[in-house]
Chains A and B, each alone.
Chain A
């Protein structure tokens, strides 16, 4: 089984600082890590390989230093890493990013399952995973919390919902985005880390991909960021205390006053 896991290198959110003037994330001096949600996707990919055999390829789009994330993924059990990196990709929104990643996946020699984290901790869009499946025209299940059954042709998975979960049957090849309930990621192994150290990470540029140049990077990105702002903090609620009757009465008065 050929398994692809798409990951993203993000700033370590345990150490976030915001520029008080521009209200944007200060990226300088902040450690980069694998997007925490992608760690579950990596673990599930490795478990799928242990369950069904095959190969796991970790794929990321990003600047050259994103290679470190791919090496870490190899340390966690992935077999290969591919870095899609080119200045032409700069400014990609989720549409252009998922298009670029889909082009890279098509260049890989076949795939059965693509795994992604449910969203990235920096952008929080949760759009790239579904975007990839759309560009590749393959089915997808998002928020997967368990891969109950899987064969070469068919998978039965559980999709987390607010009330519980759906059981979804889906033909392969397909794409899953996974939630943290799906597994507990393992610690890296020394042998994996040694392998990662000497591993050659393939690096593909825009020219290596069979992609429409107009659909890449900023030009290929229909999204425009109009404004970024920190929402005003909500005012704290008001506590009413007393007996049930008193509280009910006072609440009613307050609601009337607010003209709800």
Chain B
């Protein structure tokens, strides 16, 4: 017990520093006071939630999941079902059960239940999928994503099929998103230093030795899968509240790849990497978009051609991964001491390279 407390104290710096970083972004939005900039910061927080959610499973288990956008979809639609005005539900989603149509919760309660809903499905899917390892598991998670997407794109009465679901209350202040992002960071940290998290990371690096020591790999993976599914579900719900519209195609390949690449660029094996990856790439994307729109320097206006943003983003990501194959943070966490105190780290752990992340 005392050992656990000391692990917590030793590693508490990481979530605190990351939260401080997020608070700086929120304050920036507050100081600038521009609505589109505020929305940009909200977007960044949403991505932080999603990438941290992804990290909880991918980072700790080493199994790349292509399916987590599915949980975001589950969460977003659950939020729509729970928070839309009953009148709109009646016309847009006539297939919902009566008690659900009549229900209208505040957004935070909706987001909580959406997270729970996503977690329930993560548990059901995970029970089967977590028996698989390596690339087979990755492909199975992708199949899960395709299933969720197909069901939500076609179940007309309940999800509105491919039409946009509108009427979701829009929340435009930055604070709820900040709180949720900090919550996600702390959940990830708490899971990482828990028995399940430590066991899972041990199994990621040395599966044979880990199972010889009595670690039940499918069970530990399932725990991470459920926790990360819940965080993704919460992120999905908040996404729905950030723009007020949900459609199934929002939560498909595009979201899958952007969240995965942010995690990979930041460093798959590190919670700090997940957060820093999002912040770094989001700032880069935003700066490039800003340059595309044009900057006035003196008398002349300088603008990049449209589309440069996507190309430049790709080039930067290649450069980062060429120079630092294990991402910006590698396997390190931010800490008080220099050179990154080994936070929720298993001693003697090797730097995982990318190819290793997928294997086993």
Q: Do A and B bind each other?
A: no
| B residues at A contact (CB < 8 Å) | none
